[in-house]
Amino acid sequence: MLITVFNAILIILITIVSYKYFSLRESFGSEKHRATAYAEALGTITEKIEAYENSHVNAMAAMAIEIGKARKLDPEQLDALTYAVWLHDIGELLLPRELLKSSEKLSRQNLFLLRTHPLLGEFELKNRCSVYDEVPAIIRWHHERWDGNGYPDCLKGEEIPLCSRIITLVDAVSAMKSNRPYRTRTMSHREVLRELDLQAGLQFDPELVEIFKGLYPESKEELH
Amino acid sequence: MIRLQSSWLLESAGEVASVDSIFFPFIHRYSSLNWFSRRGLELTINTPLDSQAMLMRVWLDARKGPFSEKNRRKFNQLIKKPLELDMNPFRNWNDRLFSRQQLDYLFYWREAAYEIEDQAQREIFWGSVYGIMSYWLSNRRVNREPAYQPDEIMHLVLNLHQEHCENQDAELILLNSKFEELSPPESVLAVFPLVFTDEEDEEFQLQSIFHAWYHGHADVEQARRDIKNQLRQYSFSTEKKTDFSTLLKLSEKSEVVAICWSGVELPPKIHEQEIIEPFRREFVHRFSRSQFSIKTVNPARDSYDYLLLFFN
């Protein structure tokens, strides 16, 4: 008798705990889904300010995730990478708009100003958002170069976090395949691969270039 | 590996003192100072290694100007026929570190530069080889054939140097002294990028190879020992007791001392116990206050950047 009552209580307890667990998981899931949608929206607003005509950040995110998976990033890191892709140029929202739309060669002073955007992005995100605390750092270094001649910190090689190196690569690829104010035409996939070959070991991590070429070989003419 | 976050360092130190001059008794990689060299600060930078001191003169000091067009035409030549390998002092590196063609150029560039009369111009030519070695080695690590031919990459690196000359804006004092012979300058901020005795990353390997090349031999192991030996008084160990007297002496005229390093695979708590506490114990006699900051890089790998400031 006592055992039956105990079993009944146990079953009720398990049911309550399971219910709570699944409802909590659902609410977290939907919260994450909403946050993701907002981050994505923010990314597309930024790309409009940067005068991109097509979906620059979505193309970047798709490529970044594929490369991240090939480099065996865990789901948490892939999430951080995706957020960082969407928000990588958020610092540009704080810069004068005419600076971003200019097709003229930038003066030294304006170039300096433009190059503060990774720092502004990192600073604002760090102060306003405490989840995924590696995302601001990824954003800070998305204009570093493998050879140590990037900005803001002139990091070199593996000093640059892997996620930032991935963003550097996919940002450049997406830009090469998009209409830009400073260029008369978009580049073909073959031309993009040639450019990546030239910049492997200079602007880009050579290993990531190889991974990219494996994922998007010359026969796959269209990336988008 | 150290990620020197220049703006973070300057902002943090700027909160406790007005920083217009900085002293680096040692810098782990010359190009990590590019950000500072464009800020109109007074920088005193030292390295005990002659090969790294040469790179600092070339890449941080714009006063000597870019490599001249005349010298480019004369010395950045295409090698049409392979050179005699037996004559090449770097032949031991063949297929281990560099290709046969690359070895020909490493030999030719080193020897040809002796014909450049102006020492600053010669050093620019030699200094460019560091970037080229880095390009070749990083492609080699993933079995890639570099896309640029040697003379093309030399041309690109010389262009990059020219850009550096146009953007450099600091008042520089570049030193090449042993730590025991170095007098501390009156810089507001003294920065110590932390070098760990047991750490040897890809940059260290590159520096060893370049050091050997600069001295005209192929013994990378000897170069490695030379570098380690030069850094003996400066490097920090968690395994055995570190002698802090050199660091204390080198910072005695500064208002603020910054210790910076990057860590991976170990949680911040361990860094607090093993690094921060020993430093605090040693520096407490000179500085009444300290401030410790951490920046997250990749929490999945316990990768963080650390900054420890001492001030009054």
- Residue B213 in contact with residue B91, Cβ under 8 Å? no
Confidence band, pLDDT 50/70/90 cuts, at residue B203: very high
Q: Does domain A29-215 have CATH number 3.40.50.11310?
A: no
3-state secondary structure chain A: CHHHHHHHHHHHHHHHHHHHHHHHHHHHHHHHHHHHHHHHHHHHHHHHHCCCCCCHHHHHHHHHHHHHHHCCCCHHHHHHHHHHHHHCCHHHHHCCHHHHHCCCCCCHHHHHHHCCHHHHHHHHHHHHCCCCCCHHHHHHCCCCCCCCCCCCCCCCHHHCCHHHHHHHHHHHHHHHCCCCCCCCCCCCHHHHHHHHHHHECCCECHHHHHHHHHHCCCCCCCCC
Regions of chain A with pLDDT less than 50: none
Task: Kindly list the residues from chain A whose CB atom is less than 8 angstroms away from the CB atom of residue B3.
Answer: 153, 155, 159
* Of A59, A41, A58, A73, residue with least CA distance to A163: A73
- Rounded to an integer, what distance in angstroms lies between the CA atom of residue B250 and that of residue B25? 7
pLDDT tens digit sequence for B126-157: 999 999 999 999 999 999 999 999 999 999 99
The answer to ipTM > 0.95 is no
Residues of chain B contacting residue A148, judged by C-beta atoms under 8 Å apart: 29, 31-32, 134
Chain B, nearest residue to A120 by Cα: B7
Hey, of A110, A141, A154, which one would you mutate to test binding to chain B, going by the most B CBs within 10 A of its CB? Answer: A154
Could you tell me the pLDDT band of residue B307, with boundaries at 50, 70 and 90? very high
Query: A156 and B29 in contact by Cβ < 8 A?
Result: yes
Residue of B nearest to A80 (CA): B298
Rounded (10°) angle between helices B202-214 and B119-141: 140
**Residues B264-289 as b or e (16 or more Cβ within 10 Å = b):** eeeeeeebeeebbebbeebbeeebee
The residues of B whose Cβ lies within 8 A of any Cβ of A are 1-7, 29, 31-35, 38, 131, 134-136, 138-139, 141-142, 144, 146-148, 156, 160, 167, 201-203, 262, 295-300, 303
Q: Note the pTM of the prediction, 2 decimals.
A: 0.88
Q: Do A146 and B146 touch (CB under 8 A)?
A: no
Query: Using the beta-carbon criterion (under 8 Å), do B147 and A119 form an inter-chain contact?
Result: no
pLDDT given at position B205: 96
Q: Which residues of B touch A119 (CB under 8 A)?
A: 7
Question: Which pLDDT score, from 0 to 100, does residue A223 have?
Answer: 52
Q: Does A76 touch chain B (CB under 8 A)?
A: yes
pLDDT for A132: 79
Partner-chain contact A148 B29, CB within 8 Å: yes
**A166 interaction partners in chain B (CB closer than 8 Å):** none
Contact B138 A198 (CB under 8 A): no
